[in-house]
Amino acid sequence: MDARHRGQGEGPALNARRGAAGDAPVVALAGVDKQFANGTQALAPISVDVRRGELLTLLGPSGCGKSTLLNIAAGLIAPTHGAVRWWGGPLAATGGAGRRLAFVFQSPTLMPWARVDTNVRLPLDLARVPRAQSDVAVADALALVGLTSFARHLPRELSGGMQMRVSIARALVTAPDLLLMDEPFGALDDFTRQRLDAELLALWAARALTIVFVTHSIVEAVYLSTRVAVMGARPGRVLADIAIDEPFPRGDDWRVSTAAAAHARRLSELVAHASTTGADASRAPA
């Protein structure tokens, strides 16, 4: 859990040494970059380790490749160079066909023709989990996100925030260790977003999850994270890796505390500096 206290500048090499065999990083990205077929360099080589129990936020402006990086961490796209390891090995070796990791998309991405419980059950159905067993898991997941009474509703009958909760329940139904979230609350209003942020932190604590969370909201990043990777664009790269070393639980009043504001100011300076200078922003003020 030392990673929480890790400031910027400490390389992944040191991290790797620290990770003994039994405590391999949940995800280890080693020198991964991504060049798209049209020649665009989406990501410059990046090395990041995600340790167990972390809530790492990838923060940056649009087009900085944070979603691409998350997709690489999900095994959805292959990096052009570099290697990704999950729990110290390839994804195929994680057992349960990748059920130890779950992905939450920008939009709820629900099947519009299927009721809420069927949507949540999907990952279990695809893994051919027996119905009796999946019924329990679905009920648990819906209870976690507070949607038990909406199990028989169709997605279109729910609000945007509720649809996102269904999406989170679907991600949690396989009891994953790692949750990858790609700007999940970006399309929601501020009130809903704050509530879901708080709920997410509660789930993270209750389920001992490791979460990688993509956002372009500095406030959200500060509130949620144990650690923030600030990213810059053209090509996408990690400018700074900053620990938000503040205790949990963080209540609603913590959002507007001076401590939170100080972190937010530091992050926004980094982001601003990155957008005014070029590739040298890696030597940004800390």
Partner 1 sequence: MTDGGRGPGALRVVAPAAVALVVLAAWQALTAGLDVPSYLVPSPAVVARTLVDDRALLFRSLGVTLGIALAALAIAVIVGTLTALLFVQSRWIEMSLFPYAVLLQVTPIVAIAPLIIIWVKDAWVALVLCAVVVAVFPIISNTTLGLRSVDPGLLDLFRMARASRWQTLARLRVPSALPYFFGGLRIASGLALIGAVVAEFVAGTGGNGAGLAYQILLAGFQLNIPRLFAALVLIAATGVVLFALTVWLSKAALARWHESELPVRD
Binding residues for partner 1, rule: CB under 8 A, are 74-76, 97-99, 101, 103, 105-107, 109, 111-114, 122-123, 125-127, 154-156
- Rounded to the nearest angstrom, the gap between the alpha carbon of residue 127 and the centroid of all alpha carbons in its chain is 23
Least separation in angstroms between CB 113 and partner 1: 5
**For 33-62, b where at least 16 C-beta lie within 10 A, e where not — what string?**
bbeeeeeeebbbbbbbbbbbbbbbbbbbee
The C-alpha angle 245, 179, 148, rounded to 5 degrees, equals 110
Do residues 226 and 54 make contact, with C-beta atoms less than 8 angstroms apart? yes
Least separation in angstroms between CB 121 and partner 1: 11
Tokens coding 113: 């023709």
Q: Which is nearer to partner 1, 113 or 248 (CB)?
A: 113
Q: Which is nearer to partner 1, 180 or 242 (CB)?
A: 180
Least separation in angstroms between CB 182 and partner 1: 9
Least separation in angstroms between CB 74 and partner 1: 7
Rounded to the nearest 5°, which phi and psi values hold at 115?
-70, 165
Q: Which is nearer to partner 1, 121 or 227 (CB)?
A: 121
Q: Which is nearer to partner 1, 14 or 76 (CB)?
A: 76
Q: Which is nearer to partner 1, 119 or 225 (CB)?
A: 119
Please tell me the distance from the alpha carbon of residue 141 to that of residue 124, in angstroms, as a whole number. 12
Least separation in angstroms between CB 228 and partner 1: 25
